[in-house]
Amino acid sequence: MNSTCYIAGLGTSVPEKKLSNFDFEKIMDTSNEWIVSRTGIKTRHVLAEGQNISDIAYEASLKAIVDAKIDKSEITHILVATCSPQKLSPSLACILAQNLGLSSTSGLQTISTHNPSLVCFDFNAACSGFIYGLEIARAFLALHSNSTILLVTAEGLSRRLNFQDRTTSILFGDGAGAVILRNHGDYLYKVHDVSLGSDGDYCDLIQIGGGTEFEAKVGDVVDESFFLTMQGREVFKSAVRGMAQESLKLLEKNSLTVNDIDLFITHQANLRIIEAVGERLSISQDKVFTNLEKYGNTSASSILLAMEEAREQGKLKKGAKTLLTAFGSGLTWGSALLS
């Protein structure tokens, strides 16, 4: 089976509105010094009133389409990784299809009869969403060789943060990313391999409420369970272990060592977690890319925000071996190898 998968275009978008650590000082008992020393985060972007993740997902998608030099009508699949969907239903992928002006008939003009309609759906692998999305796309590409896949990450976690909880609310920000994935034509980077894992025994460690578990009726007031809750210390340890182990597993599977890696981009959750993963892998710190000080933890979008900035700085290069790794609620984790 042909598992070739290329990233042909890349785009990102964050809301304009920013929240700095000093803004948090005004609303809770915290300090810029505490947040920077424990997390490395200085500021994050958050959705403004009336703004939705579909707005930033749309902008990121348009940038990826332009970057890939394709016509949007070539898109056969829209896959959206999110753990903070705009609605329980319909999927953000379908909302995006509408906003992009795509329909199943527009897809019919350019794709093979084996794949006659546009396929849109969301999936939730939390902060590991982008890596999971690469693997889902590889499977679709293997089954339907002429596919042009728009893989989007879109998170609006600020809408599910409890701003009375200083240990969680300071960590997260909103953002979106998008890539065009194909197995033919010009490309930016090749996806060599992906390795994924999950462990439901730890599903209590990070939770976001608001689903059908919430037995609501009109007029009810929400409580803390509606928002993101987390056991920070446990998550910290599992994140370091999960990202380091999965990365080593993927390298070994591809007969590579850490020394072969030119650039290492991890999920941007916490600078101390990233440093600890780097230490476990014994990778030189100048190969480790971080930009979480500007965005906080944008969940599924963090790797794409980092990849875009690494590209702008000339650090993410075609042909160079790039290792990606992520970890999140579920628990879920995964690593991917690009070149």
User: Which amino acid is present at 212?
Assistant: T
Provide, rounded to whole angstroms, the least separation between the CB of residue 307 and ligand COA. Answer: 18
Single out the residue of 301, 305, 243 nearest to residue 274, CA to CA: 243
Which of residues 25 and 59 has its CB atom nearest to ligand COA in the complex? 25
φ, ψ at 202 (rounded to 5°): -110, 25
Among 90, 209, 210, 232, binds ligand COA (CB under 6 A): 232
Provide, rounded to whole angstroms, the least separation between the CB of residue 167 and ligand COA. Answer: 4
Listed ranges 35-43, 82-90, 218-226, 255-263: which one lies at the site for ligand COA (CB under 6 A): 35-43
Provide, rounded to whole angstroms, the least separation between the CB of residue 92 and ligand COA. Answer: 20
Cβ neighbours, 10 Å, residue 296: 30
Would you state the structure tokens that stand for residue 131, as one six-digit string?
């890596």
Cβ neighbours, 10 Å, residue 41: 25
Told to check if 269 binds ligand COA by CB under 6 A, we report: yes
Residues with catalytic function: 127, 267, 297
Beta-bridge partner residues of 119? 77
CA atoms within 13 A on the CB side of 325: 26
Angstrom distance (rounded) from CA 318 to CA 8: 11
Told to check if 237 binds ligand COA by CB under 6 A, we report: no
Beta-bridge partner residues of 197? 333
Which of residues 19 and 235 has its CB atom nearest to ligand COA in the complex? 235
Positions 162 through 191 that interact with ligand COA (CB under 6 A) = 166-167, 170-171
Told to check if 229 binds ligand COA by CB under 6 A, we report: no
Contacts of 313-318 with CB under 8 Å at 24 or more apart are 315/263, 315/289, 316/189, 316/263, 316/265, 316/289, 317/262, 317/263, 318/187, 318/188, 318/189
Provide, rounded to whole angstroms, the least separation between the CB of residue 268 and ligand COA. Answer: 9
Among 73, 153, 162, 297, binds ligand COA (CB under 6 A): 297
Number of chain positions touching ligand COA (CB under 6 A) = 22
Provide, rounded to whole angstroms, the least separation between the CB of residue 21 and ligand COA. Answer: 9
Which residues, 6+ apart, have CB-to-CB distance to 37 below 8 Å?
none
Told to check if 235 binds ligand COA by CB under 6 A, we report: yes
Task: Enumerate binding residues for ligand COA (CB under 6 A).
Answer: 30, 34-35, 38-39, 127, 166-167, 170-171, 230, 232-233, 235-236, 239, 269-270, 273, 297, 327-328
